[in-house]
């Protein structure tokens, strides 16, 4: 999980990298954890190494590293600059695991009087509600067709998408990151059962490193619970749950009626 805090004036950023290391072996593991940020041009911008770490057999532990980045290239609609966090686990001097995480450095802010701000600049969301299907292919949408569709929408002046009405494919969010689309990432089922919260958790954990995602939507048009206390309580519980998994974004819910 990669998050960033950008200084006033955007001259520097602090990137916080949280990595969970699992030990599937039968004995305690001793290892070093190296994390490196690569800029949009592939150059190394910062590296930190944690040494002498341990994880007990059958356990998993989260480790946190803070890396400074000077003069960060910000991700935006016009210039969707992407960085990569390279996480390497070494044991006994040998590399035993490597994971690369694309991410973007940017700031989000919603103002009740003035709207949405990206990197301190007000941006009007001009968007569509996009189902993940297409003529001729159904829901098995090829990656190239996803990119074609987004680029056509950009020609129409579109800069935002609400995914309808389930988590989108990873390829879709990758394309939004590259092209510079803003995304409201939508969960399928509303509720507070372990299964329903588990589905919301899986979506947030999977998608929270995408800079294109600016909001979580916890559900869509659940008419029976719109405009009543049951819906208000379920929504509040789901929003609080989402906030614990990702404190960097707010969450909404798609409501079509029932206001009374």
Integer angstrom CA distances of residue 163 from 113, 130, 183, 217:
26, 5, 7, 9
List the catalytic residues. 221
- C-alpha 244/C-alpha 235 separation (Å) is 14
- C-alpha 162/C-alpha 128 separation (Å) is 6
Question: How confident is the model over 41-46, as a mean pLDDT?
Answer: 97
Tell me what the pLDDT averaged over the chain comes to: 96
Encode pLDDT of 101-130 as tens digits: 999 999 999 999 999 999 999 999 999 999
Please tell me the pTM assigned to this model. Answer: 0.95
Q: Is pLDDT of 138 > 70?
A: yes
Which range has highest mean pLDDT (84-88, 127-131, 139-143)?
A: 84-88
Choose among 248, 111, 252, 104: nearest CA to 180.
Answer: 104
- C-alpha 257/C-alpha 252 separation (Å) is 15
Encode pLDDT of 16-32 as tens digits: 999 999 999 999 999 99
pLDDT of residue 257: 73
Q: Is pLDDT of 259 > 80?
A: no
pLDDT of residue 258: 58
Q: Is pLDDT of 177 > 90?
A: yes
């Amino acid at each position: 999980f990669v998050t960033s805090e950008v200084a006033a004036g955007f001259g520097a950023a602090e990137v916080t990298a949280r990595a969970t290391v699992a030990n599937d072996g039968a004995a305690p593991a001793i290892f070093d954890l190296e994390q490196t940020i690569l800029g949009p041009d592939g150059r190394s911008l910062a590296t930190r190494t944690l040494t002498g770490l341990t994880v007990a057999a059958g356990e998993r532990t989260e480790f946190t590293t803070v890396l400074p980045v000077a003069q960060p290239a910000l991700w935006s609609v016009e210039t969707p600059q992407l960085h990569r966090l390279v996480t390497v686990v070494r044991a006994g001097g040998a590399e035993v695991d490597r994971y690369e995480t694309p991410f973007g450095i940017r700031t989000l802010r919603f103002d009740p009087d003035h709207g949405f701000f990206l990197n301190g600049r007000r941006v009007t969301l001009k968007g569509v509600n996009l189902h993940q299907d297409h003529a001729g292919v159904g829901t098995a949408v090829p990656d190239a067709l996803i990119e074609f569709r987004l680029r056509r929408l950009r020609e129409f002046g579109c800069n935002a998408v609400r995914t309808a009405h389930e988590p989108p494919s990873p390829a879709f969010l990758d394309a939004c990151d590259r092209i510079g689309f803003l995304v409201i990432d939508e969960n399928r089922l509303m509720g507070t059962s372990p299964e329903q919260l588990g589905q919301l958790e899986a979506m947030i954990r999977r998608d929270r490193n995408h800079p294109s995602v600016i909001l979580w939507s916890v559900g869509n048009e659940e008419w029976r619970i719109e405009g009543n206390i049951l819906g208000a309580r379920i929504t509040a519980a789901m929003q609080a749950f989402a906030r614990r998994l990702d404190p960097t974004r707010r969450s909404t819910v798609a409501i079509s009626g029932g206001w009374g």
